[in-house]
Structure 1
Amino acid sequence: MSLILSMRLKKSLYAGLAVVVSCLCLPSFAQNFPNKPVKLVVTYPAGGSSDLMARIMGQKLSEHWGQPVIIESKPGAAGSIGMEFTARQPADGYTFVVGNLGPAAVNPLISKVPYNMDKDFIPVALTATGPNILAVPTASPFKNLNELITAARNKPDSLNFGTSGPGSMAHLGGELIMRQANIKMTGVPYKGGGLAVNDLLAGQIDMMLSDALPVSQHIKSGRLRALAITSAKRSPMMPDIPTFAEAGLPGLVAVNWWGVFLPAGTPKPVVDAYNAALVKIMANPDLKERFAGLGVEALATSQDEFKAFLASESAKYSKLIADNNIKAE
């Protein structure tokens, strides 16, 4: 036997042995996971809903695991910077990201992003959903959704709605309303949802579809009027607001959502350990109450349920974006 052939055989044997050892060690590795601090990547600036939820989740995971969960803030590019950062991390379970509708579903449809959701990530669990509220100033003549739709039909493009930029939930929600109601309105883009809410309060724009946190306090104080909510059922947090179906637009359901993703290649026992931990902590009464205070519902799905949900969201918005030629600025 030649020396080269002998070396090749030895290399092959060593490689095979390494695979066997690796497979045998994975359950033990998962059992002991984590044995050092874990990084939780947040894709939006501090103080927003995503950041606050991640910090609450990180605290509960830290208590559950007995290891620190360190928040790594990577905001920018509508969440895409944080997603790219996570995709490039070692697939050992020690870095995960809370992704949401924008960077995980919409951004890849409206712009070229430096990651591929199918190839670069493993979806672990859907962890929260939150409805959007169609709000108008209290001085608005519209007391309900039907009055608003009638006015828009009578005078196309006479009404406007605030958005936080192309592809934002406020923008896509406005497009969904126009498509479902067969009306035309004008979207007014802002650099952030807070700026749009300020102009809504001042009566500078006619309406806005907003997540609950920025507008709920103003609805309670009487400065804004809620016409409809985008959840499939009335929200227990805001039971007086009718769903779009109840208000006259059946089938219009559009929720914000957040879920946990790991870098592709993370061993399955570790992914399973993550899912089990999330199922445990997301049912914690204190966590659920704190999430409710942010206007969202805490939950934890199976991996398969999350994958099916992602597929349905992609199908819904890819058609809407293509039909309306929506592009990132």
Structure 2
Amino acid sequence: MNIQRNGLKIATAFLLSLCMMPFVNAQQAFPKKPIELIIPFAPGDTDKMLRPIADRMGDALGQPVVMQYKPGAGGGVGASQVANAKADGYTLAGSSPGALVIVPLANKEFKYETESFAPVAAFTKGAFLLLVPGDSPYNTLEDLITAAKTKPGTLTYGSSGTMGITHLLTEIFSKNANIELMHIPYQGSTPAVVDLLGKEINMAMAAIAPALGYVKSGRLRALAVISDRRSALLPDVPTVAELGYGVNSPALYGIVAPKGTAKERVYAIYEAAKKAIEEHKDEINKNLTTLGAEIQLLDPEQYAAYLQEQKSMFSKAIDGLKVGQQ
């Protein structure tokens, strides 16, 4: 009797294992085809923040990661496409605070929110510089603040565009420093830096990459860096936060999937990014250093928390400006 009962148990367990095999194999099989990574920016410095790692993720996944450029509206065009894509893990977006946080807050033309995505991984950290001409009378950030308080609203600053990240970060700094500056928007950071070199404006905020050579040559002076710590490329330049003005937000770049993507697939992609970094760390760091960037890996939960912090900070800045609600 016991022999029959034991035999029945074994047979039942065997049949159950057969039933489970398609499910297990389906989980293990991801991905079965190439993954499309939508880059919501034109080829350039932001794209280069993502490419060194994204290019190597395919080896870990066993399928290529194919990058497609969908620029426009500060990242809104490409991000919107991914927000509305099938949540199967085969369509991802290259992500930045601008595309995932600022655009949906400032431009209601786009019908997505920060929460429309499943954060996968952040893996690159960039920083911004507060810059003045090399022969400016402002040798320190305190010099500039003192002058701005003496002549409210007369000192000009250039940004990459209205409601762009450099515009909002400068406004946050201005509020924290209790000063008023005149905003001059440009179509990108490069023309703002060009006009700063020509002394058409008093200061500008820009990413490290387009400004570093000018700072090294003395044509521009970096008064402060906006990040959570000093840049290894400019170790003598203090952060805005350490000077007491509270803007310590690094710009993190990574990848997201549409909301609702299975957690197992999200983590499979995250693990691929992690493996790519571990296996090619020196090479990746070498590429990122030229951009004034570095590796900073966040898992899905950590990246989600970072994006919510960014949303809180930038929503307050946008509400303060009383613009962008279209």
Equivalent positions of 1:108-187 (< 5 A) are: 108-117=104-113, 120-187=116-183
Instruction: Report the Cα distance in structure 2 between the residues aligned to 1:296 and 1:304, rounded to whole angstroms.
Output: 22
Matched, 1:194 2:160: no
Instruction: Report the Cα distance in structure 2 between the residues aligned to 1:173 and 1:221, rounded to whole angstroms.
Output: 26
Aligned to 1:139, the other structure's residue is in SS state: coil
Instruction: Report the Cα distance in structure 2 between the residues aligned to 1:63 and 1:209, rounded to whole angstroms.
Output: 37
Query: Cα distance 1:215–1:22, how it changes in 2: closer, same or farther (>3 A)?
Result: farther
Instruction: Report the Cα distance in structure 1 between the residues aligned to 2:215 and 2:19, rounded to whole angstroms.
Output: 56
Aligned to 2:297, the other structure's residue is in SS state: coil
Match of 2:10 in 1: none
Match of 1:270 in 2: 265
CA apart distance, 1:181 = 0.9
Match of 1:83 in 2: 79
Structure 2: gaps spanning 5 or more residues: 1-17
Instruction: Report the Cα distance in structure 2 between the residues aligned to 1:130 and 1:23, rounded to whole angstroms.
Output: 45
Deviations 1:57-93 (A, max 9, x none): 2221123233222111000011111011112322221
C-alpha contact 1:134 1:209 (8 A) present in aligned 2: yes
C-alpha contact 1:88 1:263 (8 A) present in aligned 2: yes
Query: Cα distance 1:27–1:210, how it changes in 2: closer, same or farther (>3 A)?
Result: farther
C-alpha contact 2:97 2:307 (8 A) present in aligned 1: no
CA apart distance, 1:119 = 5.2
Matched, 1:260 2:251: no
Deviations 1:154-180 (A, max 9, x none): 111120000111221210121012101
Q: How many residues align?
A: 307
Match of 1:219 in 2: 215
Aligned to 1:300, the other structure's residue is in SS state: strand
Match of 2:309 among 304, 307, 312: 312
Instruction: Report the Cα distance in structure 1 between the residues aligned to 2:57 and 2:162, rounded to whole angstroms.
Output: 34
C-alpha contact 2:129 2:222 (8 A) present in aligned 1: yes
Aligned to 2:241, the other structure's residue is in SS state: helix
Match of 2:28 in 1: 31
Instruction: Report the Cα distance in structure 1 between the residues aligned to 2:41 and 2:318, rounded to whole angstroms.
Output: 23
CA apart distance, 1:196 = 0.8
Equivalent positions of 1:30-69 (< 5 A) are: 30-46=27-43, 48-69=44-65
Instruction: Report the Cα distance in structure 2 between the residues aligned to 1:293 and 1:22, rounded to whole angstroms.
Output: 53
Match of 1:7 in 2: none
Query: Cα distance 1:118–1:206, how it changes in 2: closer, same or farther (>3 A)?
Result: closer
